[in-house]
Amino acid sequence: MTNAPTTHETPAPTADKATRPGEPTRFADATDGVKLAIYEYGDSDRPTVLFVHGYPDDHSVWEPVIALTAGDFHVVTYDVRGTGASGQPAKRGGYAMSQLRDDLATVISLTSPDSPVHLVAHDWGSIQSWAAVSDSAFANKLASFTSVSGPGLDMAGAWLRRGHRHPRKFARQLVDSWYIVAFQLPFLPELLVRRGVVEKMVSRSENIGVPTDRQIPSGRRSRRDAINGIGLYRANFRHLLTPRPTRAVCPVQVLAPTDDAHVTVPLGLEAPKPFVDRLCTHAIPGNHWVVEQNPTLITTLVTEFISTITQQDEDSR
């Protein structure tokens, strides 16, 4: 599925980086030549947990969770193409789901070549990860998958097609997803980013339910990343219109924040059910950015799920 990844090494990761994320550990060349910035923490002899971020974040959204997990796992994360220290493709097709899936394979092959990884992803990181989780080529690469606020597009499209069975849920999700359609327009989304409108929208959604004295100010994300990330929506919209969902190749845990302004709980919890054999679901307190705001909750649920899956697999042998 992918060519052997090319790497450009920087000093090997050490355990004390677990609470001091900094420069990339190394870079890998994606199959189309885009450079991917990879970050590693903890003991590489331990089971690998791979975190994938969403839009319009970079890998740093996972820093609070990394600080809690790197003592027990080999932790890996990376800047998705077009964000952070990673390069960006020249054309829209560079953000297609197939390429994002290949990027994930490249990172896994480089950082955990001999053992499957526990994949944990948020928002668009989760959306693109579903493409791998539903691909038989990843059957030996993935031990488990925890999805936070990011349903697979094909699964979501199938769920939306069944909207007549749940009209109120369907209508609510359409209202919450208005920006997906807006991002298909030429020029306007980029203009909204440059005018700060998208960042203000993100700021409002990440402060839902947050006390006034703890709210996070807008303007902390990169406008370059936000503009590049629009390509994710444009290159992959067709998956919602003509969904072709396939079955998951590993156990899946879905976490659906109850105050998520972008993904409703019904969509998050119901869409995967027909396509996952070993599925664990939780509606959890928090908004769309719960991974950053409540890292203890996310860490607890992820580690418990990994422990349960590991024990079940051992018992079945």
Instruction: Enumerate the domain spans of the chain.
Output: 6-316
* pLDDT value, residue 168: 85
The model's pLDDT over 79-89, given as tens digits with 9 standing for 90+, comes to 999 999 999 99
For residue 10, is pLDDT > 50? no
For residue 77, is pLDDT > 50? yes
DSSP secondary structure letters along 38-62 = EEEES-TTSPEEEEE--TT--GGGG
Element (H, E) at 281: strand 279-284
Q: What is the pTM of this model?
A: 0.91
Separate counts of helices (H) and strands (E) for the chain: 13, 9
Angstrom distance (rounded) from CA 253 to CA 263? 16
Angstrom distance (rounded) from CA 30 to CA 75? 20
For residue 15, is pLDDT > 50? no
What is the mean predicted confidence (pLDDT) over 152-172? 89
**Mean pLDDT of all residues belonging to the chain:** 90
Question: What's the Cα-to-Cα distance from 209 to each of 55, 61, 113, 246, 295, rounded to whole Å?
Answer: 21, 19, 41, 35, 16
User: Is the domain defined by 6-316 classed in CATH 3.40.50.1820?
Assistant: yes
For residue 98, is pLDDT > 80? yes
* pLDDT value, residue 1: 47
The model's pLDDT over 46-64, given as tens digits with 9 standing for 90+, comes to 999 999 999 999 999 999 9
* pLDDT value, residue 216: 73
Give the amino acid at 59: H
The answer to whether 203 and 217 are in contact (CB under 8 A) is yes
- Using the 8-state DSSP alphabet, how is residue 262 labeled? S
pLDDT band at 137 (very low <50, low <70, confident <90, very high): very high
- Using the 8-state DSSP alphabet, how is residue 265 labeled? H
* pLDDT value, residue 51: 98
What is the mean predicted confidence (pLDDT) over 157-186? 87
Tokens of 231: 């390509």
* pLDDT value, residue 8: 46
Give the residue from 264, 267, 269, 265 showing the smallest Cα distance to 253. 269
Give the residue from 102, 96, 98, 97 showing the smallest Cα distance to 141. 102
Place of tokens 């950082």: 111
Give the amino acid at 123: D
78-117 in b/e burial notation, b at 16+ Cβ within 10 A?
A: bbbbbbbbbbbbeeeebbbbebbbbbbbbbbbbbbeeebb
For residue 18, is pLDDT > 90? no
* pLDDT value, residue 219: 66
Per cent of the chain over pLDDT 90 is 78
Query: Which comes out higher in pLDDT, residue 2 or 114?
Result: 114
What is the mean predicted confidence (pLDDT) over 140-164? 94
The model's pLDDT over 203-219, given as tens digits with 9 standing for 90+, comes to 989 989 887 767 776 66
Place of tokens 């327009």: 185
